[in-house]
Amino acid sequence: MQAHLAAQDDDMWYAITDGPMKILKINKAVATTEGAPHMVEKHRSEWTAEDKKKTNLDNVEKDILYKTLDKNMFAKIKTCTTAKEIWEKLTQLCEGNDQTKENKLTVVIQKFDNAKMKSGETLAEFDERFSSIIIQLTSLGKDYSNREIALKVMRAFPREWDLKTIAMRESKDLNKLELDDLFANLKAYEFELGI
């Protein structure tokens, strides 16, 4: 049952990424080349119940996408004829072209480079703000190592945190220190400082 659902999920994603499914069969009139059979499209009268489900996946996907859009977004994609076209149009509208993505990445890298804990900001607030920057970077294809992230966070704190951050640099393997674990460790110190 799980294998069937996984295959169905793969087929649904295929309908989004590659377009409507073509139902194929082996063309027995043509010899196979290098072990690969020659495929031709099945006539509609030859479709099995499973084939019919697969050909309807594009309609199912379009319906799902339509239901998730507000009127404004729907107006922008209503001329698209396949789920793939809708997905590509939405991607373009939401993410922009390559130049837009590059500009967004530059801005988020600058946010990362300039991240500092603000005066009066709690650790939880800084954690939320910094984690948001990391999520943005990841979504734009930029990944930093655990070590780079940990060092950046430790450099972002005011002077009263120096004792803790120096001790952490010496005692922890920063290559294995996840961001959540880093902030959890620092929250105990924030409590000690009485911030």
Question: For the segment 149-168, what is each residue's pLDDT rounded down to a tens digit?
Answer: 999 999 999 988 888 888 98
Q: Alpha-carbon distance 173 to 64, whole Å?
A: 45
| Number of structural domains found in the chain | 2
Taking 70 as the threshold, does the pLDDT of residue 178 lie above it?
yes
8 & 90 share domain: yes
- Residue of 136, 115, 137, 134 whose CA lies nearest to 126: 115
Between 103 and 96, the higher pLDDT residue: 103
Taking 70 as the threshold, does the pLDDT of residue 104 lie above it?
yes
Residue 112, number of CB atoms within 10 A of its CB: 19
* Domain endpoint, select from 60, 80, 95: 95
What amino acid occupies position 142?
K
Mean pLDDT of the 34-56 span: 86
Q: Which residues pair with 41 in a beta bridge?
A: 24
36 & 69 share domain: yes
Least reliable range by pLDDT among 15-24, 32-41, 70-79: 32-41
For position 2, what pLDDT does the model report? 46
Mean pLDDT of the 87-109 span: 87
pLDDT band at 3 (very low <50, low <70, confident <90, very high): very low
55 & 119 share domain: no
109 & 189 share domain: yes
DSSP, res 20: S
106 & 88 share domain: no
Mean pLDDT of the 14-41 span: 81
DSSP, res 23: P
| Residue 142: domain span | 98-193
pLDDT band at 25 (very low <50, low <70, confident <90, very high): confident
Chain-centroid distance of CA 86 in Å reads 18
For helices 179-193 and 162-171, angle between their N-to-C axes, nearest 10 degrees:
140
pLDDT band at 130 (very low <50, low <70, confident <90, very high): very high
For position 150, what pLDDT does the model report? 93
What amino acid occupies position 152?
K
* Domain endpoint, select from 95, 129, 156: 95
- Cα 101 to Cα 78, 81, 104, 168, 188: the distances in Å are 25, 26, 5, 35, 38
- For a pLDDT cut of 70, what percent of the chain falls above it? 93
Taking 90 as the threshold, does the pLDDT of residue 126 lie above it?
yes
Q: Supply the mean pLDDT for the chain.
A: 86
15 & 91 share domain: yes
Strand pairing report for 39-41 and 24-26:
antiparallel
91 & 106 share domain: no
pLDDT band at 4 (very low <50, low <70, confident <90, very high): very low
